[in-house]
Structure 1
Amino acid sequence: MEFKEWGQKILDFIFNPIEKDAFINILEGSVRSGKTVGMIPKWIDYIMSGPPGLLIMTGVSKDTIYDNVLDDLFDTLGEDSYTYNKQSGDLIVTWYDDDSNRHKRRIKVIGAKDEGSEKYLRGKTLAGAYCDEISLMPEKFFKQLLNRLSVRGAKLYGTTNPDSPFHYLYTEYITDEAKLKSGMVKVYHFELDDNPNLPEDYKENIRAAYKGMWYKRMILGLWVIAEGIIYDMFSDDLLFDDADNLFTLTKKSECRRYIACDYGTTNPMVFLDIYDDGETIFVVNEYYYDSKKEQEQKSDEQYADDFKAFVGEEYPDFVVIDPSAASFKVVLRGRGFRIKDADNSVNDGIRNVAMLMSLRKLRVHKRCANFIREGHSYAWDEKAAQHGEEKPIKIYDHAMDAIRYFVKTILPKWRFQQ
Structure 2
Amino acid sequence: MLNLDALPLSRKQLRSVGQATARINLWHGSVRSGKTIASLLAFVIAVATAGPSGLIIVCGRSLQTIERNVIEPLQDEALFGPLSRHVLHTRGATTATILGRTVHLIGAADTRAEGRLRGLTAQLAYVDEATLLPEGFWTQLLARLSVPGARLFVTTNPDSPRHWLKKGYLDRSTELDMRAWHFKLADNPSLSREYVDALAAEYVGLWRRRMIDGAWVVAEGAIYDMWDEERHVVDELPAMRRHLLGIDYGTTNPFAAVLLGEGADGRLYVAAEWRHDARAAHRSMTDAQYSAAVRDWLAKLGVAPEWTFIDPSAASFITQLWADGHPGIARASNEVADGIRSVAALLAAGRLLVHRSCEGLLDELPGYCWDPAATEKGEDKPLKADDHSVDALRYAVHSAAHEWRHLLTARPERTAA
TM over 0.5, shorter chain: yes
Task: Give the match for residue 230 of structure 1.
Answer: 223
Structure 1 residues 62 and 311: alpha-carbon distance in aligned structure 2, compared to 1, 3 A threshold: farther
Is 1:7 the counterpart of 2:3? The answer is no
Match of 1:321 in 2: 310
CA gap 1:118/1:275 in 2 versus in 1, 3 angstroms: farther
Asked whether 1:82 is paired with 2:87, we answer yes
Structure 1 spans left out of the alignment, 5+ residues: 96-103
**Separation (CA, whole Å) in 2 of partners of 1:258 and 1:399:** 14
Aligned with residue 127 of structure 2, among 131, 135, 145: 131
- For residue 188 of structure 2, what is the aligned residue in structure 1? 195
- Cα contact 1:166–1:385 (8 A) shared by 2: yes
Q: Which amino acid aligns with 1:44?
A: V
**Structure 2 residue 385 is the aligned partner of structure 1 residue 395:** yes
| Range that drifts further, 222-231 or 272-281 | 272-281
Name 2:72's counterpart in structure 1.
71
Q: How does 1:88-127 map to 2 (within 5 A)?
A: 88-93=93-98, 95=99, 104-127=100-123
Question: What CA distance in whole angstroms lies between the structure 1 residues aligned with 2:103 and 2:405?
Answer: 31
Matched to 1:270, the amino acid is A
1: distance between equivalents of 2:104 and 2:397? 31
> Does residue 383 of structure 1 match 2:373?
yes
Amino acid at match of 1:356: L
Instruction: Check 1:185–1:209 CA distance in 2 against 1; reply closer, same or farther (3 A cut).
Output: same
Secondary structure of 2:89's partner? strand
| AA partner of residue 380 (structure 1) | W
Cα deviation for residue 235 of structure 1 reads 2.7
**TM-score when normalising by structure 1:** 0.84
* Unmatched runs of 5 consecutive residues or more in structure 2: 410-417
Deviation at 1:413, TM superposition (A): 10
3-state SS in 2 of match to 1:265: coil
Cα 1:110–1:258 change in 2 (3 A) is farther
Across the aligned residues of Structure 1 and Structure 2, the Cα RMSD in angstroms comes to 2.9
Q: Deviations over 1:112-164 (max 9, x none)?
A: 22223323333433332222211121212222222222333322211112111
* CA drift at 1:80: 4.1
Alpha carbons 1:131, 1:158 under 8 Å: kept? yes
Identity %: 37
**Could you state the TM-score of these two structures normalised by the residue count of structure 2?**
0.84
Mapping 1:7-406, distance limit 5 Å: 7-16=10-19, 21-52=21-52, 53-76=54-77, 80-93=85-98, 95=99, 104-176=100-172, 179-182=173-176, 184-236=177-229, 237-242=231-236, 245=238, 248-249=239-240, 252=241, 255=242, 257-275=243-261, 281-312=268-299, 315-337=304-326, 338-406=328-396
Residue 241 of structure 1 deviates from its aligned partner by: 4.4
Q: Deviations over 1:358-409 (max 9, x none)?
A: 2334333333222232222110112331233331111111122223334444
Question: Is the alpha carbon distance of 1:345 and 1:126 closer, same or farther for their aligned partners in structure 2, counting shifts above 3 Å?
Answer: farther
The number of equivalent residue pairs is 395
Q: Is the 8 A contact 1:342 1:405 kept in 2?
A: yes
Q: Secondary structure in 2 aligned to 1:242?
A: coil
Q: Secondary structure at the match of 2:75?
A: helix
Does structure 1 retain, via aligned residues, the 8 Å contact 2:74–2:87?
A: no
- The one-letter amino acid paired with 1:359 is A
Alpha-carbon contact 1:51-1:154 (below 8 Å) kept: no
- Supply the AA of the counterpart residue of 1:327: S
Shift of 1:187: 1.0
Contact 2:130/2:155 (CA < 8 Å) preserved in 1?
Answer: yes
